[in-house]
Amino acid sequence: MINTNALREAERYCALGIGILFLVLGIVGFIPAFVSIPGTDVSFVPAQDAHNAYAAGFGYVFGLFPTNFLHNLVHCTVGLLGITSYLTHHGARQFNRIFFVAYVVIAIMGLLPFTKTSFGLMPLFGYNVFLNAASAIAAAYYGIVIPAKLAGEPVSDNI
């Protein structure tokens, strides 16, 4: 027998986990001690030295994930949305589904040469592709597969 309460809680905790992860990445992206530009001794490009919006705050969080100020703001926004969606079961399910669709598209954009900088706004390439794809897969499982199990119907009917 399927424990429906446990599965619904798992959906909520997935949204919470994604929210916390993205909020932490967004906040850490603003802290110079955690951001670096490989091959240099500077942590990130200061806003006053940037030639465009893409270069403002450009650096690598933990030396892995390319970011800039706009990317950090997007991470913080997604993180706060995930955390607040945790409050209700329906909100968490909707967050997981919308997050899945959006971040699959973003992961694919990170693989394409002409969209890997989201048209000159923020970096989507490198390890961001893996982060976005892995979190999208988790959101898909908890936002689509788990609800199908709860309803006792095929996953294709639950999309």
* Cα separation, 156 vs 147, whole angstroms: 11
First to last CA, the chain: 23
Two structure tokens written together for 133: 């794809």
Per-residue pLDDT of the chain (159 residues; tens, 9 = 90+): 467 788 889 999 999 999 999 999 999 999 999 999 887 877 778 778 888 888 888 999 999 999 999 999 999 999 999 999 999 999 999 999 999 999 999 999 999 999 999 999 999 999 999 999 999 999 999 999 988 888 777 877 766
Residue 56 burial class via C-beta count within 10 angstroms: exposed 0-12, middle 13-18, buried 19 and up: middle
* Cα separation, 13 vs 17, whole angstroms: 6
pTM value surpassing 0.85: yes
In this structure, what DSSP letter does residue 154 have? -
